[in-house]
Structure 1
């Protein structure tokens, strides 16, 4: 178990977005050449600013040097490389999307989608660990915590010197949030928590936990509150790490609360309404899931494209056979479509427009398409892709979780059906 001693951040240049979004206006008539082998984003004259292009290039360089080389080892050892937290913090990536006055780097939802895709391209498990820290734990503190809690925890968390976790799931509560059984009872100048949490990403490595607990059980989801619980607090313990099929580079644990007393200032947001308030920040999770899936799909696509060019059967590369080349062409189309849906939702959020339906559609399409792409990639790579040293088998194990988390595919379809009037 890692101690919660402060990690020191290395000196480095901090990422600062040069613009929040590209100004509207006539686009250039120039058509930049694009390689069919380069899974780049759309032409910057369409909607990606030059600053975002630079962000993407810098992230790809970082991932190629710091994440891709260790992805297989971290997966095999079921270990999150905590040393990456201060590295990405020093570069300003953990603070992406957070105001500068709280230690963030500024930026947009689209910037964040770019970050998620690139991290997942290197390792879905590592990307998931950063996502939970940034988009769930830190986002809840920034949006709803008291000034005292923000000052104590948020700057260090955005530097990567402290790691956060989001503690919601329980044995009986997943898609049905109202079934949360962990109780928080007001008592004097604080609250007493009792209950347990399951499947908590970052559990073994986190310094602080944003815990969802029921303060009015009879009101179900409308009676849920959020609390900050620090590692080491009396009555709170992190139990054994859980072993998983995929995203094994993210670490997961169970939590237990036995008469765990927290001060009133550790209440995050409004009593009884904290979870409802937090739901408006959770749309980012569906955008992130779509971006993660795009990154994994792109990694599988590029690996398969190289294999199809190199692997020969009957005296020619297998990519020259129509069945293979058509299938890989479909992969390219599906990746672009998923990315565009993801970025559309992100841009709508950046412009302050309703984006719930767009995020649901992006999440549904990109995650399910990723699973199909990776399955097809495994098929085209044959026995080589089935071997443990191949990244394809890791992509195959990783991709399914994104269909399950942040609302299952069935839940997304139900929400989309309601949003279109059914």
Structure 2
């Protein structure tokens, strides 16, 4: 098991690192104040191919594996999380479904424009009555001839304000439960499709989440993604595929916070000496470093397993759970190390603290990840051990 990067990936990683440090990070405060990603940063991201990191080369993407993608995501995580989410949601759950499940005609139609960043992708599963309980969807899709008619709504959909292509889950057979859910590719300009209000959030400024409304929305039958009744399975695959990437983004943010905390502890003096000489501060830095390094190994192990086409249901849930929990702990310690300055909006620490909180909720809450892990453990042990009968 090796996590070494190819020369091409290492070169791209260095380019992304410089782009983040020289262009995105200086604009972070502006993004926070205006809740917008500057157009020039989006255009530069398009030029660098960042919107195509999950898309095969034959469709205009970079065609790199999960380990390579995580190397890039890690660098993106070291700056404003709103910008990182724009890229990550597009290259993750926004496009993976078409890449992994779409037929050739669908790939030819959508992936080149998504790879260039001309079309942004989004993933529409969550509804007012269906969050963690994804099988409780109310949005319906009824086939009529060569078309499907979709009615219903979604909310908290990342990238919705700017997206052109949506992977939408809807119920095609209410009597079948999870096996009655089907996935579709929906374009923004299809009649009957409306993007609702942009939600005002605690964090992730510049990343826009909106409501979606479908009112007798007609889509051609060829926009069925996969097979009827496979939508719930497709959703699980799409979400599981993106968890290593999400962990890598969190890893980058944790590394950023650790760097800032160490630097501040060396510069800040109290009681006549740098605060890192206070054992309490030194221990916080040590704990942060241990968790960053542990997260790094977990992230790249799951990424490597994904590239080997191994079953990563349990491991991807583990890394998503651990990454989000670690990010929140490290953000909290970073505020504590920085003291009052860590609570001031002029400095980045409090922004990361706010942004970290959503990672324990979106793309599967921490509680759902624990359910997945526990269920997989029971399956594994049920296969290894026969039930023990108690003799009377």
How does the TM-score come out when normalised to structure 1?
0.85
Quote the Cα distance in structure 2 between the aligned partners of 1:244 and 1:109. 30
1:233: Cα distance to partner? Answer: 2.0
Q: 1:231 to 1:83 in 2, by over 3 A?
A: farther
* Other-structure match for 1:198: 155
Deviates more, 1:317-326 or 1:336-345: 317-326
Q: Assess if the C-alpha contact under 8 Å between 1:98 and 1:104 holds in 2.
A: yes
String of CA shifts for 1:118-141, please: whole Å, max 9, x gaps: 112112121111122111222212
Quote the Cα distance in structure 2 between the aligned partners of 1:60 and 1:257. 40
* Other-structure match for 2:390: none
* Other-structure match for 1:327: 284
Q: Assess if the C-alpha contact under 8 Å between 1:85 and 1:161 holds in 2.
A: no
1:375: Cα distance to partner? Answer: 0.4
String of CA shifts for 1:243-289, please: whole Å, max 9, x gaps: 00011221111011111111111211112213313422321222122
Aligned length: 379
> What is the aligned counterpart of 2:266 among 303, 309, 323?
309
* Other-structure match for 1:99: 56
* Other-structure match for 1:350: 307
String of CA shifts for 1:138-195, please: whole Å, max 9, x gaps: 2212223343332222101101111111111100111111101101110121011110
Quote the Cα distance in structure 2 between the aligned partners of 1:188 and 1:82. 42
String of CA shifts for 1:192-230, please: whole Å, max 9, x gaps: 111011001111111222211111122222111122222
* Other-structure match for 1:290: 247
Quote the Cα distance in structure 1 between the aligned partners of 2:261 and 2:220. 54
Q: 1:324 to 1:344 in 2, by over 3 A?
A: same
Q: Assess if the C-alpha contact under 8 Å between 2:5 and 2:68 holds in 1.
A: no
Quote the Cα distance in structure 1 between the aligned partners of 2:288 and 2:236. 33
Deviates more, 1:231-240 or 1:378-387: 231-240
Q: Assess if the C-alpha contact under 8 Å between 2:17 and 2:75 holds in 1.
A: yes
Q: Assess if the C-alpha contact under 8 Å between 2:97 and 2:234 holds in 1.
A: no
Deviates more, 1:408-417 or 1:172-181: 408-417
Q: In structure 2, the residue corresponding to 1:94 is in which secondary structure?
A: helix
1:86: Cα distance to partner? Answer: 4.0
* Other-structure match for 1:244: 201
* Other-structure match for 2:26: 69
Q: Assess if the C-alpha contact under 8 Å between 1:203 and 1:252 holds in 2.
A: yes
1:82: Cα distance to partner? Answer: 5.0
* Other-structure match for 1:365: 322
Q: Assess if the C-alpha contact under 8 Å between 1:87 and 1:160 holds in 2.
A: no
Quote the Cα distance in structure 1 between the aligned partners of 2:211 and 2:97. 21
* Other-structure match for 1:175: 132
Q: Assess if the C-alpha contact under 8 Å between 1:78 and 1:243 holds in 2.
A: no
How does the TM-score come out when normalised to structure 2?
0.92
* Other-structure match for 2:212: 255
Deviates more, 1:130-139 or 1:336-345: 130-139
- Does residue 219 (structure 1) correspond to residue 176 (structure 2)? The answer is yes
Q: In structure 2, the residue corresponding to 1:178 is in which secondary structure?
A: coil
Quote the Cα distance in structure 2 between the aligned partners of 1:106 and 1:261. 33
| Structure 2 gap ranges (5+) | 382-392
- Does residue 135 (structure 1) correspond to residue 92 (structure 2)? The answer is yes
Q: Assess if the C-alpha contact under 8 Å between 2:161 and 2:208 holds in 1.
A: yes
* Other-structure match for 2:384: none
- Does residue 377 (structure 1) correspond to residue 334 (structure 2)? The answer is yes
Q: Assess if the C-alpha contact under 8 Å between 2:54 and 2:92 holds in 1.
A: no
